[in-house]
Amino acid sequence: MRQFVLRRVLLAVPVILGILVVTFTVARLIPGDPCTAALGERATAEACEAFNVRFGLDKPIIVQLGIYMRSILVEGDFGNSIRFSRPVSLLLIERLPTTIELGLAATFIAVLVGVPAGMLSAYKRNSTADVVTMIGANIGVSMPVYWLGLMMAYVFAVLLKDTAFWLPPSGQLTPGLLPTPFYEAWGWELTKDTAAFTIADFIANLEIINSIITAQWSVLQDAIRHLILPSIALSTIPMAIIARITRSSMLDVLGREYVRAARAKGVIERKVVFKHALRNALLPIVTVIGLQVGTLFAGAVLTETIFGWSGVGRALFDAITGRDFPVIQAFTVVIAIGYVAVNLLVDISYAFIDPRIKLQ
């Protein structure tokens, strides 16, 4: 197991380096330039020249790439944001927890609804439940996230404004509600610009976790209410895909001889479905869940923009429009690392789901 994990991590290194190079190159092929995006269309040639010198954009691309790769690999530094004039690492600490919370909530909803729906559809094959479930799955796959998000915001924030079903259409917390970081609530004295403070600040930016461990229940309730609409909008497509794969996998397993033998022996139907059928159908289900988790982080770009969330997706969108190369590169690499990590966990889970699979 240890050798398998180490080998997979080592194989992921050239993939991530390749993504770095490709992202670095493609970002500079986007029409427009950072100077015009930052200083405006009327920026003089002298101002743009000074701007390019300040951020090292006056050097040849191959030289810029060498400096950037050395900065990451040797110093662990993603550089400074052109737009905000702040270290990109600080932006990651601020924005990444938001995307993690949104992605985990969307994954939870997608799995919680998609797997049972697919199981029900397979068990009740060709019934009304099967037809309704698959129609819903097809609609979910076909429905654009940006349209669904806008419609949900309109319904729950405008049409249901004066009812108990009203939900906030944007933001992570109600303006003016300032949660206390857990390290302040617990009286920890942390020095800024240290690893301990960085980790603590990252955890504190996970609003739901921070509010639970500090017993700020009003903040928790407000954070959950703000999370409902974007997480449902983001989970719709993965939910539909998971439901369809679950149905297909369950149909294949339910027709196997060992399932028919279990029923012939008089095994309780619940055991037949969950112990014999579901367990043997899990491999493709787990695989598609892993792929969809990676897709969720990429899809968060639209969702966060629509609902006004300050996460990785929103920051990446703003960085692309503002030609903020360091932010584009760093946030793309973070998403790529998330993909690699999820795929690694999926591969490891195979050995626990099916003991016949050996990780070597």
Q: Give burial (CB, 10 Å; 0-12/13-18/19+) of 215.
A: exposed
Q: Could you list the residue range(s) of the whole structural domain that residue 244 is in?
A: 89-179+216-309
Query: Which runs of consecutive H residues, i.e. helices, occur in the chain?
Result: 2-27, 34-39, 45-54, 61-75, 88-123, 128-142, 145-154, 182-185, 195-204, 207-213, 217-254, 257-264, 269-271, 279-307, 312-321, 325-353
- pLDDT above 70 covers a percentage of the chain that reads 97
Q: Are residues 72 and 95 in the same domain?
A: no
**Average pLDDT value for the chain:** 84
Q: Among residues 12, 47, 77, which one ends one of the domains? A: 77
What distance, in Å, lies between the first and last C-alpha atoms of the chain?
A: 6
Instruction: Let me know whether 93 and 64 are in one domain.
Output: no
145 and 69, same structural domain? no
Please give the tally of structural domains in the chain. 2
Q: Determine, yes or no, domain membership for 352.
A: no
pLDDT in tens, 188-238: 888 777 778 888 888 988 889 999 999 999 999 999 999 999 999 888 888
Model confidence, pTM:
0.84
Other CB atoms within a 10 A radius of the CB of residue 271 amount to: 11
Residues 153 and 265 in one domain: yes
Beta-bridge mates of residue 248: none
Is residue 103 domain-resident? Answer: yes
Identify whether residues 162 and 244 lie together within a single domain.
yes
Distance CA(151)–CA(154), nearest Å, equals 5
SS3 assignment, position 123: helix
Residue ending a domain, among 309, 331, 349, is 309
pLDDT class of 52 with cuts at 50, 70, 90: confident
Q: What is the pLDDT of residue 137?
A: 85
Say what percent of the chain tops pLDDT 90: 12
236-280 tens-digit pLDDT:
888 999 999 999 998 888 888 888 888 888 888 888 888 888 888
Same domain, 269 and 146: yes
Is pLDDT of 124 > 90?
A: no
Q: Which tokens go with 226?
A: 């703000």
Mean pLDDT of the region 84-102: 85
Is residue 249 domain-shared with residue 164, that is, in the same domain? yes
Domain boundary, last residue among 309, 326, 355: 309
pLDDT of residue 54: 81
- Assign 87 to helix, strand or coil: strand
pLDDT digits (tens, 9 = 90+) for 174-186: 888 888 999 888 8
Question: Is 66 a member of any domain?
Answer: yes
Q: What is the mean pLDDT of residues 117-127?
A: 88
Residues 97 and 66 in one domain: no
Q: Is residue 270 part of a domain?
A: yes
The whole-number pLDDT of residue 225 equals: 92
Looking at residue 212, its pLDDT comes to: 93
* Greater model confidence, 167 or 54: 167
User: What mean pLDDT comes out for the span 76-95?
Assistant: 82
Does residue 248 form part of some domain? yes
Higher pLDDT, 35 or 136: 136
pLDDT exceeds cutoff 70 at 1: no
Candidates 206, 230, 352, 207; CA nearest to 300 is 230
245 in the same domain as 153: yes
Same domain, 127 and 239: yes
Span 299-313, average pLDDT: 80
Q: Tell me, what's the pLDDT at 112?
A: 93
Is residue 225 situated within a structural domain? Answer: yes
Give the model's pLDDT for residue 358: 62
For residue 80, list its beta bridge partners: 87
Evaluate if residue 4 carries a pLDDT over 80: no
Q: Is residue 241 part of a domain?
A: yes
Is residue 65 a part of any domain in this protein? yes
Read off φ and ψ for residue 151, nearest 5 degrees. Answer: -65, -40
Residues in CB range of 197: below 8 A, 6 or more apart: 190, 191
Together in a domain, 63 and 150: no
Residues 41, 175 within the same domain: no
Q: Is the pLDDT of residue 67 over 90?
A: no
Res. 35: pLDDT tops 80: no
Answer for the pair 281, 246: CB distance below 8 angstroms, yes or no: yes
Q: What is the CATH number of the domain that holds 285?
A: 1.10.3720.10
Q: Is the pLDDT of residue 302 over 60?
A: yes
The amino acid present at 63, given as its one-letter code, is V
